Amino acid sequence: MGDTRLIQGRYRLLDLIGRGGMGEVWRARDESLGRQVAVKCLKPLVHGHDHAFTGVLRERFRREARVAAALQHRGVTVVHDFGESDGVLYLVMELLDGRNLSQLLEDNKQHPLPVADVVEVAEQVAAALAYTHRQSIVHRDLKPANIMRLDDGTVKICDFGIARLGHDIGFTSRLTGTGIAMGTPHYMSPEQIGGSEVDQRSDLYSFGCVLYEIATGAPPFDLDDAWAVLVGHRDTPPRPPRTHRAELPAFLDRIILDLLAKEPARRPPDARELARRIDAGRAAPVYVPTVVSAPLRRDPTDRPVAREARLPSWTHGMTTGHKATGTGAGPRATPPDAAAGLTGEWIARADTRGTPQPVPAGRPTPAPELLTALTGRHNAGLSLGRLGRWEEAGEVHRAVAAEREHALGPDHPDTLASRYEVGFTLSRTGRPADALREYTHVARVREGVLGPEHPDTLAARQEMAYVLGQLGRHFDAHQVYAAVLAARERAMGPEHPDTLRCRHNLAFNLSRLGRLEDSYRMASDVAAARARVLGANHPDTLVTRYEVAYALGQLGRWPEALDTYREVAAARAQALGPDHPDTLAARYEVGISLGRLGRSVQALELYRGLIDDRTRVHGPAHPETLRARHGLGVNLGRLGRWEEALAESRDVCAIRERVLGPDHPDTLVSRREVAVGLGWLGRWGDALVEYRVVAEARERVLGVGHPDALASRNDEAHCLERRAQAWPGWIFLC
């Protein structure tokens, strides 16, 4: 878009003034009217969408843009024009001279804004929200970056209607461990987190979070862990702002707490009532001392010091994303001045190093601009991974690793961090042997530089164990897991989240070694510990309970396995949502358990619903959709409905062969099920052909001595025997 410099023969792009998750903002000149404007160019539509879907999105864009263009209020950014140019959607807005609230806080070195400014922002935004809510428009993404204060003191809200568009197109950032779609969790209302329908009171809650932050210097739940932030919004009463900053007037403290009520009905009913309360509070005489509040006290690693109301520190795999008062530990790219208010940001994985690392002595110091750019690209790779775009993420991390090695050296922590992520993407794209090489290198160098029991060294060694398991080297994986676990227990204690994660992985690996009782006992212990530390419905607790159910099934204790899988599925539906992959996976295992207990009628009903949901969420050819269809076919056979079972198995086998390849294990499982159906229908000659294809493929891929290959030869022998029984003279004709 920027290369053409001219959009629709009218808007000439002059210079880039902002970049974010949804696209870019340019300062431009309207050649027809001779005025300066801001042009927001949204990212191109995702190529994977079909024409009908992109058509719906374009129509949604036009509708949302018309709504935004119809808003006429001094507190709302004016939209002049919108359209599409070369496949890119664009908005033309008034060019604003000023800073958004996030930038003002950063300019103020993380100090809160003066009390008079906080009250002024509250009053102006309340008036703007009262106007937009009267038009039945809900913003859905209020945060400091979307509220501008102009040089003349006017406060404006940006991006009405665009946040929902971003979610539809797929630009909204996501949290890896939860699957909850959002921009930044620090400003989400409880009903947004729960997936409920939102109205104007959700905007009031988000605005309460904004006011809390500009009044105290930090959002109400200022935690490094995204899940803890979300649960804080949902369950934890915020500390009154005046406990952070005594000079805040009592009326403002009360207003902010009312806006942050968990139940929408307990908040002000609308923004007009909010404006009335602010006006009444301002009219009351109060003494406001002219002091500058100190920033939040920080420890030497520049992380916020724990407060009394802080939630437990849960797992570190999820990230909170950017909030107005800073970006947490570690270097991070600073985007250009986003003066027009971009919706959405890249969200970086938490950096365990805490502080930027020095360049080794004797090596030229690279330009700060280069390091900033590389950090931004590293974070972009992390975001691609969180969206499941592992191939693209791997390309980004490999390129950044090479440039960091050239600029910083092969043993620099940033270089190793990039190589660690390269290994992560390799393990997620079916290349465990290559991943093992990366992790082995990173672990060896970290051990030499940081020590054998440094958390970063242990993280690399734990990933080594994971990919060893992927390679079927479960004994080697067991040895590495056991050593890492011992080190974690010494350094962190037996119930630290990282220690529990390692114990969970060890329990999983024990089941693959055939030590089912040991696996069950360890998984049960880890599930109980995680419930104590993280909560009964935390995703990590539910993952371990899922493993407990698996062990129960392997031990033949299917009634207990069924009950546990059902409990996990229900808890995941509540915590993560009914369409989250983890929820759907637990429902699949419920179907497996029902089938094992001979309750195939119930299993059929479950699988049909699951297939519908998988198809809607992932598409008809997704491996998990096909897995559910395979389960449907198996249970059709158990009910003696072999013609239907054979048709289902053949269809699934054909799709798997096309999508996964003819020798993929899932394809071969489907082909074997085709053979089973043919046998039950008495077509032993056709069944024999299928059994032989499966046996030869498994021998070719796994080796002649592999248990699956031997089982396939047994299937072939059984088929020969049954065919001989069905046609006694056949054996003499061969």
Tens digit of each residue's pLDDT (9 = 90 or more) over 625-649:
999 999 999 999 999 999 999 999 9
Question: Considering 473, 492, 511, which residue would you say is the last residue of a domain?
Answer: 492
Does 44 score more than 70 pLDDT? no
Q: What is the 3-state secondary structure (H, E, C) of 459-488?
A: HHHHHHHHHHHHCCCHHHHHHHHHHHHHHH
254, 108: one domain: yes
Contact between 341 and 77 (Cβ < 8 Å): yes
Are the CB atoms for 480 and 447 separated by under 8 Å? no
User: What per-residue confidence (pLDDT) applies to 66?
Assistant: 77
Q: How many domains does the chain have?
A: 5
Instruction: List the binding residues for ATP.
Output: 40
Mean of the pLDDT values across residues 657-682? 92
Residues 431 and 515 in one domain: no
Mean per-residue pLDDT for 528-550? 90
Q: Is the pLDDT of residue 697 over 60?
A: yes
Whole-number Å distance between alpha carbons of 210 and 101: 9
Contacts 24+ apart (CB under 8 A), 611-614: 613/578, 613/579, 613/584, 614/584
Degrees, nearest 5: CA angle 390-417-429: 20
Same domain for 18 and 155?
no
Query: Is 73 contained in some domain?
Result: yes
Q: Verify that 561 and 603 share a domain, yes or no.
A: no
**Helix and strand numbers, DSSP H then E, in the chain:** 27, 9
Lowest pLDDT segment from 318-327, 370-379, 570-579: 318-327
How far, in Å, CA of 385 to CA of 378, rounded? 11
Instruction: Please tell me the total number of residues recorded for the chain in this structure.
Output: 734
Torsion from C-alpha of 351, 353, 357, 360, nearest 10 degrees: -120
Domain assignment present for residue 32? The answer is yes
- The CATH number for 122's domain is 1.10.510.10
**The pLDDT of residue 311:** 30
Q: Which residue has the higher pLDDT, 29 or 63?
A: 29
Q: Which of the listed residues 492, 513, 539 is the one where a domain comes to its end? A: 492
Phi, psi of 98 (to 5 degrees): 170, -160
240 shares its domain with 107: yes
User: What letter does residue 113 receive in the DSSP assignment?
Assistant: P
pTM: 0.50
Q: What percent of the chain has pLDDT over 90?
A: 43
Q: Does residue 339 lie in a domain region? A: no
More confident residue, 50 or 352: 50
- Where residue 582 sits, what CATH number does that domain have? 1.25.40.10
In the residue annotation, 253 being an active-site residue is answered as: no
Is the distance from CB of 520 to CB of 551 less than 8 angstroms?
Answer: yes
Residue 643 in tokens? 């013609």
53 and 121 together in one domain:
no
Is residue 72 domain-shared with residue 110, that is, in the same domain? no
pLDDT of residue 435: 92
Report the binding-site residues.
40
Q: List the domain range (segments joined by +) for residue 42.
A: 6-94
When pLDDT is cut at 50, 70 and 90, the band that residue 288 belongs to is very low
Residue 320 covered by a domain: no
Co-location of 50 and 137 in the same domain: no
Structure tokens at 15: 């210079």
Are 676 and 603 contained in the same domain?
yes
356 assigned to some structural domain? no
Helix-strand-coil split of the chain, %, nearest 5: 60, 10, 35
Average pLDDT of the chain to the nearest whole number: 80
Domain-located, residue 345: no
Is there a single domain that holds both residue 90 and residue 166?
Answer: no
- Residue 34's domain is classified under what CATH number? 3.30.200.20
- Sign of the CA dihedral with 476 first, then 456, 186, and 152 last: negative
Nearest to 679 by CA among 691, 695, 665: 691
608 and 678, same domain (yes or no): yes
Q: For position 362, what pLDDT does the model report?
A: 61
* Token code pair at residue 628: 């559910």
Of the listed ranges 510-519, 626-635, 724-733, the least confidently predicted one is 724-733
| 126, 82: one domain | no
Most confident of 24-33, 196-205, 261-270, 375-384: 261-270
Pick the catalytic residue from 81, 141, 540, 582: 141
Whether 687 maps to a domain, the answer reads: yes
Give the model's pLDDT for residue 626.
Answer: 94
| Amino acid letter for position 96 | L
Of the two residues 619 and 727, the one the predictor is more confident about is 619
Q: Give the Cβ contact number of residue 363 at 10 Å.
A: 11
* Any domain includes 326: no
- Band (65; pLDDT cuts 50, 70, 90): confident
Task: Choose one of 521, 553, 587: the last residue of a domain.
Answer: 587
Give, in order, the Cα–Cα distances in Å from 671 to each of 570, 631, 642, 663.
33, 14, 15, 10
